[in-house]
Amino acid sequence: MKVYIWADMEGVAGVADWDDPVTDTYFNAETRSRMRELFTGEINAAVKGALAAGAQTVLVRDAHGFANNLSVEELHPEAPAILGRKGLPNPWPDLDETVSAAVIIGAHPMAGTPHGILPHTSYEVNGRRMGDAGLFAAVCGSYDVPVAAASGDHAAVDQLSALMPGPRVAPVKHAYYPYAIRTLQPFKARHLIKSAVEDGLRNLPSAPVLRLDRPYKVKFHAGEGEGDDLASVVLNLLKARGAPYGSQDVEPERSIYLRRLRAAQRAADRDYPE
């Protein structure tokens, strides 16, 4: 069994605000290093769950921001990490028909979600709205890969369950507001995650596959596209927006990320004024 773990950071227990990898203050350095520890702890819990369920191969895709957040030193030794974005063929390297199951960690809800942690980004695929985690599930579905388990805040796991009923879920926090949470203690959250992943993988035949009909019609704020290969359709939309995939000859990734971070902050601030 080969398991692909897709991990985002906003939905991790204990995380209540954006990370800021750029602003040079002690506060940011300390906050971000704590977030990285919390993030890696939840990924490791998922890896342990996968191994307990019999996985022979576990890949971890760091999917947040620069895609280089998890602490490789602290990562479970049996789980190679896929890091970075620049020059990669697409956002989900090594995700294909050979993957037996996917796991989503740290999901945040889509843009405009009330009572969700740091809600941002939404796509429409074949008329169905989804956020970043949902899009990953749809790409998995395009390869017939089921999603065995998902963690994140309550809003995010509810949205995933509505999109494809049946994954084992580990909701690790409730968001009162985009920047205010009631969170599980990290060890409790990790215990829940490990159990959900192990259980989901042990019951793989009942895990949902988000199958949508070809050709895929994708809309997102940068434009729209259509095609039979969902990963390529999304990749072309992202590239049109200046995302650093496939080529070295792009705007520095740092400024792209900053632009996206500021846009997401502005959107959340507009939707949820203080």
For residues 174 and 115, is the Cβ–Cβ distance under 8 A?
yes
Residue 215: asked if its preceding bond is cis (omega within 30°), the reply is yes
The amino acid at 37? E
Q: In what order do the strands lie in the sheet with 128-130?
A: 128-130, 123-125, 216-220, 223-227
From the CB of 8, what's the least distance to Zn ion, in Å? 4
What does residue 237 show for φ and ψ, rounded to 5 degrees?
-65, -40
Nearest distance from residue 65's CB to Zn ion, in Å? Answer: 6
Contact 70, 40 (CB under 8 A): yes
- Which CB atom, from 22 or from 224, has the smaller least distance to Zn ion? 22
Which one of 120, 154, 191, 221 is the catalytic residue? Answer: 120
Q: Which DSSP symbol is given to 150?
A: E
Residues 142/144/145/147 CA torsion (nearest 10 deg): 80
User: Alpha-carbon distance 76 to 74, whole Å?
Assistant: 7
Interface residues toward Zn ion, by CB under 5 A = 8-10, 64
| Residue 4 or 136 with smaller CB distance to Zn ion | 136
Q: Which is nearer to Zn ion, 53 or 189 (CB)?
A: 189
Q: Is 102 helix (H, G, I), strand (E, B) or coil?
A: strand
CB-wise, 52 or 261, nearer to Zn ion?
Answer: 261
- Residue 151 CB, nearest approach to Zn ion (Å): 14
Q: How far apart are CA 84 and CA 88, in angstroms?
A: 8
Which residue's CB comes closest to Zn ion?
Answer: 64
Give yes or no: 108 in active site: no
Q: Between 8 and 198, whose beta carbon lies closer to Zn ion?
A: 8
- Tally of CB atoms within 10 A around 23: 10
As annotated, the active-site residues are 120
